[in-house]
Amino acid sequence: MEKKVAVLPGDGIGPEVTEAAVKVLEVIARRFNHTFHVEYGTIGGDAIDKHQNPLPDETVKLCEASDAVLLGAVGGPKWDQNPSALRPEKGLLAIRKHFDLFANLRPVKAVPSLLHASPLKEEVAKDVDMMIVRELTGGLYFGEPSRRTADAAVDSLVYTREEIERIVVKSFEIARLRRGKVASVDKANVLESSKLWREVVEEKKKAYPDVEVEHMLVDSTAMKLITNPAAFDVVVTENMFGDILSDEASVITGSLGVLPSASIRSDGFGLYEPVHGSAPEIAGLGMANPAAAILSAAMMLKYSFKMETEASAIEEAVNTVFEDGFFTADLAASGQRVLSTKEWTEKVIDELDTQFVSNSIMFSYV
Ligand code: IPM
Ligand code: MN
């Protein structure tokens, strides 16, 4: 297959981790006879510095001409004092909105070899395997009016029935491919938008009798994510709740550095990025964990290109490298050898090569 990938490295550790992901994609292309045309664009602080715009038109055009987008991270202290139109985060919000990427998928899965780094007890964290489905283009992030004066400020939480319907249906579809359970999270004891959310869930679930649906309030969900995270399968929620709960859930597995995400719309186009931020304190030091970016590239293969086998090959290689005890600084236990971003990426590539060799031996027997 031939695909065009727009790579937007962004700020901080973004360039280092996307470089790692692109290297892995090159190996996949060679092994599976695909061609990935990779082109680079600017976003976030990098784009503010070069074009005085966190999402320049050139970048939008590049993404429009591509089949998928791979993004590093945006933000950093350098731009913290900027007026809101010139903040790096604006670039991310604008690209999500422009491309109507309403469904944000954030898988959180425990990896046995990383449990030592989890803040939770091993027996609580070990069976965690959930998919957070966050609505990404509505709610408080985009509602109007949104403004402030010196002594007052307003943000608006707006959702239309249609916006809720499409994300809820998406979560049911995903649940069908997993364990068939959806926790729909809201604050229906207080918010009107949540009451509408619940109503839509009740209506839409009729077409999915095989999916078990539970309504949960966001405050008790925050608690249960710590006390019994393994109970969750699919969690579907609005934009702001999803932002907060996904950061909470992300640390369960040991490191934010291993979690990928996909932001997709209905036709398969998507933007893929690590859940972690730009980590300015370690930027340029070559020590960032590239696992989340590499796994985001795997999600791109799976969700945008329907290359399931290729995506699994990457996931398996990443898991094996962890199981073999190779870690970057964020995950290494004291006394353990610490690998650089490049060294760790090489391990993944070696592992992909090993997989390929053993697969071809298997084929030669058949
Ligand atoms: C995320 C981030 C963004 C968000 C920021 C950077 C705007 O925290 O992707 O979760 O709040 O959506
Ligand atoms: Mn966030």
Angle at alpha carbon of residue 330, lines to 326 and 331, rounded to 5°:
45
Q: Does residue 243 line the site of ligand 1, with CB under 6 A?
A: yes
Q: Residues 10-39, buried b or exposed e (16+ Cβ, 10 A)?
A: bbbbbbbbbbbbbbbbebbbebeebebebe
Q: Could you confirm whether 49 is annotated as catalytic?
A: no
- For ligand 1, atom 10: residue with the closest CA: 243
Distance 353 CA to ligand 1 centre (A): 35
Query: In Å, how far from its chain's centre is CA 250?
Result: 10
Q: Does residue 71 line the site of ligand 1, with CB under 6 A?
A: no
For ligand 1, pick from 93, 95, 240, 259 the residue to mutate: most ligand atoms within 8 Å of CB: 93
Q: Give every strand in the sheet of 181-186, ordered side by side.
A: 35-40, 2-10, 68-73, 270-274, 260-264, 103-109, 129-135, 234-237, 181-186, 212-217
- For ligand 1, atom 4: residue with the closest CA: 243
Q: Does residue 89 line the site of ligand 1, with CB under 6 A?
A: yes
> 50 near 42, Cβ under 8 Å?
yes
- For ligand 1, atom 11: residue with the closest CA: 243
The full set of domain ranges for the chain reads 1-109+255-366, 119-253
> 213 near 232, Cβ under 8 Å?
no
Distance 76 CA to ligand 1 centre (A): 13
pLDDT attached to residue 45: 98
Q: Which of 49, 80, 127, 219 is flagged as catalytic?
A: 219
| Low-confidence residues in the chain, pLDDT < 50 | 366
For ligand 1, pick from 69, 136, 243, 248 the residue to mutate: most ligand atoms within 8 Å of CB: 243
pLDDT attached to residue 361: 58
Alpha helices in 118-185 (DSSP H): 122-125, 161-176
Sign of the alpha-carbon torsion through 158, 63, 298, 278:
negative
> 225 near 235, Cβ under 8 Å?
no
Q: What is the amino acid identity at position 74?
A: V
Distance 86 CA to ligand 1 centre (A): 16
Among the bound ligands, name the one nearest to the CA of residue 92. 1
Residue 2 has a CB neighbour count (10 Å cut-off) of: 9
- For ligand 1, atom 9: residue with the closest CA: 275
pLDDT attached to residue 357: 82
Indicate the CATH number for domain 119-253: 3.40.718.10
Q: Does residue 248 line the site of ligand 1, with CB under 6 A?
A: no
Distance 204 CA to ligand 2 centre (A): 28
Among the bound ligands, name the one nearest to the CA of residue 93. 1
Long-range contacts, 354-362 (Cβ 8 Å, 24+): 355/313, 355/316, 355/317, 356/31
pLDDT attached to residue 189: 98
Distance 57 CA to ligand 2 centre (A): 25
Question: Quick one: 160 exposed, middle or buried, by C-beta within 10 A (0-12, 13-18, 19+)?
Answer: exposed
Distance 45 CA to ligand 2 centre (A): 17
pLDDT attached to residue 366: 46
Angle at alpha carbon of residue 80, lines to 79 and 82, rounded to 5°:
65
* pTM, entire model: 0.95
Q: Could you confirm whether 247 is annotated as catalytic?
A: yes
Q: Does residue 73 line the site of ligand 1, with CB under 6 A?
A: no
Which atom of ligand 1 is least distant from the CA of 92? 7
- Per-state percent for the chain, helix, strand, coil, to nearest 5: 50, 20, 30
Distance 233 CA to ligand 1 centre (A): 22
Q: Could you confirm whether 219 is annotated as catalytic?
A: yes
Helix, strand or coil for residue 51?
helix
Q: Does residue 92 line the site of ligand 1, with CB under 6 A?
A: yes
Beta-sheet strands, E only, within 190-275: 212-217, 234-237, 260-264, 270-274
Q: Which two tokens stand for residue 324?
A: 């073999």
Q: Which of 3, 11, 46, 141 is flagged as catalytic?
A: 141
Q: Could you confirm whether 187 is annotated as catalytic?
A: yes
Q: Does residue 218 line the site of ligand 1, with CB under 6 A?
A: no
> 231 near 70, Cβ under 8 Å?
no
CB hemisphere CA count around 350 (13 angstroms): 10
Rounded-to-integer distance, Cα 178 and Cα 220, Å: 24
Answer CATH for 1-109+255-366 from 3.40.718.10, 1.10.10.60, 3.40.980.10, 3.30.300.130: 3.40.718.10
